[in-house]
Amino acid sequence: MELKQVIVVRNDLGMGKGKLAGQVGHAAVLGYIKVLSKDKKTAKAWEDAGQKKIVVKVENEAEFFGLYEKMKRAVPCALVQDAGMTQLAPGTATCFAAGPWNAQEIDKFTGELKLL
């Protein structure tokens, strides 16, 4: 079984490159921790296989939350909300991690999204 993690980013926020990189980093770590706490075997297998990550984008908040609500029922997901110290208002949802999990299950939801 192929494992991967997909990070879904809101493209409408206009985050700077550094801010975006930080938010994606938060998502990757939070997603891994979530899976590690639920399924250590899957987390370890993903580690051993090279920790495949893909970053995709959605165009607006409605699309973002619609996808998040659907995905979290089938795939472990971790939502990132900004602390509001720099570019965004506190609590702004910036991205979420799906997995690491079965790539085929993740692709059912994200397979048509464009890479960031």
User: Which residue range forms the structural domain that includes residue 89?
Assistant: 3-115
CA angle 16, 11, 3 (to 5 degrees): 100
Q: pLDDT averaged over the chain?
A: 97
The CA-atom distances, in angstroms, between 106 and each of 8, 83, 103, 116 are 11, 28, 5, 17
Look at residue 20 in the predicted model and tell me its pLDDT: 97
Look at residue 61 in the predicted model and tell me its pLDDT: 98
Residues of the chain with pLDDT under 50: none
Task: Name the domain count of the chain.
Answer: 1
Establish how many alpha carbons lie within 13 A of residue 12's alpha carbon, considering only the half-sphere containing its beta carbon: 9
Look at residue 70 in the predicted model and tell me its pLDDT: 98
- Looking up residue 46, the CATH number of its domain turns out to be 3.40.1490.10
Look at residue 109 in the predicted model and tell me its pLDDT: 98
What is the model's pTM?
Answer: 0.96
